[in-house]
Amino acid sequence: MKKVVTFDRPLSRVRADWSPVATVPCNYRSAGRSEGGKYVGHDTIPHLCHIELTYACNERCIFCYNPEHAKLGDIATIDRLVRAVAESQIPHVYLIGGEPSLLPVEKLNEYIELLAKHSSVTIVTNGLKRLVGISDRLACFGVPIHGANATTHEFLNQTRGSFEKTLDTVRYYVREGHDVRCIPVLTGYNYDQMYDIIRIAADLGMESIFVDRYEDGGVGSVHSAGGYDLKPTGDQFRIAVEQIIRAKQDFAGFGGRVGFGTAIPYCLDERMITEGITANCGVGTSFCAVNPKGEFRMCNQSQLVFGILPQETIEDIWNKPSLDIFRDLSWVDEPCRSCELLLDCTGGCKVDANCSDKFCIDYAVRGLSKPVAELVKKVEHRKLTEVYPGRYRTFRPNRYIKLTLRYPEKFLVTRYQTVKLDSMAVEMIQAVLDEAMTNERILVERFADRVEEHDVRLFVSRMIQVKALDLKEEVYDVAS
């Protein structure tokens, strides 16, 4: 039976504490990797850090993993957190909340300018308040459209008039030349509106759409326990998957940038693999979160704290043995433990309100003896190109790229990706950046004594593919 969305039903009571959960210091000591055992590998630093600037918000989303709280917090404390993240040169940084737009635009621009020296910066905002004059060094806005109509959207965020305001804000950002990503939360109330939400996003000119499945946490867990059917059922999830796949095919303007943004067990619907819409959140591998107190966690919804910024650096915290509480996979139960795709899927979402002081496999497969569906054995992730044209190309460096060389791994940071480079690739991209080299033929000649022409040209193709280089229209000089 279709759910009725209405404002008339009273919300469950939520405690006023400003912290989403009672955080717990983690002092886990691993017994060590078992011989032949699986382990979650990681680089010296995470590739993505969420800075939760505040838990204050101007909406009342019933699915929110934060508690309600009206206090913005001490700006000087936020300043110190942002500086600490900037000093660690994390490739990608999301400024989230709560609601970041409650901070002054001038302050947000200060953060963007500081971070953008080494990081690609995204602001995740509900769009209720328009950020006029935001820095053009911002890589992207993430803005949610939770329903195909005002009724659903405003039921889920409990804010009358917000639907049209959010759409107007998206239109404004797109007109100003910003990339805007649509990030709806999939619930038991909007599962059958995914196609129309994606259609709206396409009509608005949004850059991509990545759907986050609802997980119990914070305010959301209180409302879920109070009778709101926020978790999509298995059947509802499969309807949503069907609509997402159809929209991905129909709205070619997204260039395939349609799928899920949060971790979901692949076995809930094998079409996630066959249609290329799987997602893994990167917990323990590439992702971390810092709350307004400076508490470093591997997940926004986790209680486990591994260190405090700025007293410790991100790289020091990230490499502590205590993070093996996740990485050694000792927490994994069946049906995930014996699954061949464990290191790729890692059991879906690892944290919810029922296991936020530890890690556990996703609620949708918890307690099962076998996967929901039989899976293909291999997930086809996007591969780097193996081709280049017959003519030399001219190009320019994309304005969002950065090169981070301070760690053992050498990172090329693009607007949306982190690419690890070997020493020769570092030399070639440095030649492009430092010598203002924009001609493929000259790049080939520059490295002719050490690199085969085929490899230089393949390097250029791959840099264009990951959008580190922007291809100019003209090509010339037939290659020998």
pLDDT in tens, 360-413: 999 999 988 777 766 665 666 778 889 999 999 999 999 999 999 999 999 999
What are the distances in angstroms from CA 306 to CA 81, 292, 324, 385? 15, 15, 11, 39
| Contact criterion met (CB below 8 Å) for 132 and 33 | no
Pick from 86-100, 258-272, 279-293, 349-363: least confident: 349-363
Our CA angle for 389, 393, 397, nearest 5°, is: 125
Question: Taking the CB of residue 27, how many other CB atoms lie within 10 A of it?
Answer: 10
Arithmetic mean of pLDDT, 332-359: 88
Confidence of residue 9 (pLDDT cuts 50, 70, 90): low
Which residues is 476 bridged to in the sheet? Answer: 392
Range 432-440 average pLDDT: 92
DSSP string, 359-381: ----TTTTT-SS-SS---S---P
Token pair for 355: 């296991």
pTM, full prediction: 0.93
User: How confident is the model at residue 164, as a pLDDT?
Assistant: 98
Share of the chain above pLDDT 70, in %: 90
Residues 282-326 pLDDT 10s: 999 999 999 999 999 999 888 899 999 999 999 999 999 999 999
pLDDT at 17 over 50: no
Which has the minimum average pLDDT: 138-147, 163-172, 377-386? 377-386
Phi, psi (deg, nearest 5) at residue 412:
-100, 120
Tell me the C-alpha distance between 473 and 442, whole Å: 17
Q: What are phi and psi of 353, to 5 degrees?
A: -60, -20
Give 8's pLDDT tier (boundaries 50, 70, 90): low
Strand 140-143 vs strand 180-182: parallel, antiparallel, or unpaired? parallel
